Structure 1
Amino acid sequence: MTATIEMVEAGGRSLRVAHWRLGEPSDHPPLLFFNGIGANIEAVSALAERLTERGFVMFDMPGTGESPDPSVPYNPATISWTATRVLDRLGLDEVDVMGISWGGAIAQQFALQHPGRTRRLVLVATTAGMPMVPGDPAILSKMVDPGRYADPDFMNELFLSLYGDMARRPGSKAEHIGRLTPPSPVGFAYQLLAMVGWSSLPALPLLDKEVLIMMGADDNLVAPINGRILAAAIRNSRLEIVEGGGHLFLLTHGDESVACLRAFLDAPDTEAERQRAA
């Protein structure tokens, strides 16, 4: 099923929003997804299309994909609030929340800031913010230059770095790069600026949600130890390490990732969740 894509006015911003299956009956809450830095909806639409049993919502951040450039800077708190306005426009109350990399930080902020709208939380290849343990400095330095998204040589290097062993699968590079739309310089800069000084670590022990943390064993951008830090700080969490997975194992190890997601999201509610719902 293809996505419904529309421009939505939310919190004073115009955002390109994609959603799947919201009008269909489902036994599962929709999944609100926050993308990685500079990434557009199409970059991970394959994941949304595989989770056929539930609704799925994500949007291009200001200045990425086809969302207009932001007129003023934003931070994780303001963009989380904006996400609630998107949910309001779509008629959604409680959702499962998921984020990858940069979007994993936003997902943490959303769950902490809006616990009443968050059922469960999935954090993929991400960190607790400023206290992160960095990956390969050479790869990190490449990631902060949005202009290089249009450079074929750079895209080849970045692909090999992010995808790990699965980069050698025939056709995988063309399949993913064809989905990428370079962010605008302003949009990319504001995404970088949003994380300056931000950390979830002091608040994570207060997070009263079931949390799945997924990390790639061969992630050269976000070292797997960052997942262990998150797991140590979040009391109701479980950590899954995807062997052979690079930073984008969510796509390259699709079967394994989707099975892990379903096992977590579809598990019966815990006693604490039932009490909160009562």
Structure 2
Amino acid sequence: MTATVELIEAGGRTLRVAHWRLGEKSDYPPILFFNGIGANIEAVAPLAEMLTERAFVMFDMPGTGESPDPVMPYNPFTMCWTATQILDQLGVGTVDVMGVSWGGAMAQHFALQHPRRTRRVVLAATTAGMLMVPGNPAALSKMADPRRYIDAKFMNEHFATLYGGVDQDGSAHQKDSHIGRLKPPSPRGYVYQLLAMLGWTSLPALPFLNKEVLIMMGDDDQIVPLINGRILASVIRNARLEVMKGGGHLFLLTHADESVDALRTFLDGPDTESETRRAA
């Protein structure tokens, strides 16, 4: 992983932060990325490395990856504020905020809580929170099994059930690579991540999200069915929906080239009139 990795004190917590290309000249704002539940920085590092023209910032949630265990529970408000403290220490102002799955909810909250620091938003394989259409029960039951983090054989055996979108495009090597990058969260870290979103939903606030939003979904996602992306797209005024054919929950990795193309088309596009007015 060609990133600068450091421990940063922010919001009363010590968090492991990774950033790519922050010191390099770029015409684009950095991406602030919120990961899926229990996932460590390394799990999404390939995406950061493919987006070579822009900076990328990501951190391990408390008790995840190599961030120390949380002392107290947290919620989206406090963790999004903490993210701004990290950005301040890195000298970053405005960002394009992106999140996948659980992190997609965090990305929504960040954009709503910190609109002046948010240019555009990317929501991948995610929902509006508790008001969601649930996924395949077989996948959800295995999702709750901690062996998916610590037992490579279990993960390999149940990968298609958990995530979908593997055999269709012959992406077994991405699957094996992903399994090798995973590091299990601590029990407390995982539980606190679950508790953080308990009762949370963005649905009433999303009609007021005045940002350009790209919603990316896989049509073979066993955990977050495509209908959830359609719901998001229907309530966000400036949203566009991109569906990855044959993509499962990890389409950002299994369909990496398609995903990066969609990201670049959206993020590199010309500023809209509303964005120009906000910048002024």
Same fold (TM over 0.5): yes
Q: Given the alignment of the two structures, is residue 159 of structure 1 paired with residue 162 of structure 2, yes or no?
A: no
Distance 1:262 1:169 in 2: 22
Distance 1:253 1:215 in 2: 11
SS at match of 1:171: helix
CA contact (8 A) 1:146 1:184 kept: no
CA contact (8 A) 1:146 1:188 kept: no
Counterpart position of 2:136:
136
CA contact (8 A) 2:175 2:254 kept: no
CA contact (8 A) 2:166 2:172 kept: no
SS at match of 2:181: coil
CA contact (8 A) 1:33 1:58 kept: yes
159-168 or 252-261, which deviates more: 159-168
Give the number of aligned pairs.
278
Q: Aligned-pair distance for 1:172?
A: 2.9
Distance 2:87 2:158 in 1: 33
Q: 1:29 to 1:176 in 2, by over 3 A?
A: same
Where structure 2 has 5 or more consecutive residues not aligned to the other structure, the ranges are none
Counterpart position of 2:24:
24
Superimposed CA distance per residue, residues 105-146 of structure 1 (whole angstroms, 9 cap, x where no aligned partner): 000000000000000000000000011000111211222233
Where structure 1 has 5 or more consecutive residues not aligned to the other structure, the ranges are none
Distance 1:157 1:248 in 2: 16
**In the alignment, residue 180 of structure 2 is paired with which amino acid?**
G
Q: Aligned-pair distance for 1:158?
A: 3.8
Counterpart position of 2:15:
15
* Counterpart selection for 2:211 from 185, 194, 209: 209
Superposition RMSD on alpha carbons, in Å? Answer: 1.3
Counterpart position of 1:171:
173
Q: Given the alignment of the two structures, is residue 58 of structure 1 paired with residue 58 of structure 2, yes or no?
A: yes
Distance 1:8 1:26 in 2: 24
**In the alignment, residue 209 of structure 1 is paired with which amino acid?**
K
Q: Aligned-pair distance for 1:60?
A: 0.3
Counterpart position of 2:193:
191
Distance 2:196 2:165 in 1: 28
Superimposed CA distance per residue, residues 136-180 of structure 1 (whole angstroms, 9 cap, x where no aligned partner): 112112222335421234212442231423474343332111100
Distance 1:158 1:25 in 2: 43
* Counterpart selection for 2:244 from 234, 242, 245: 242
CA contact (8 A) 1:166 1:252 kept: no
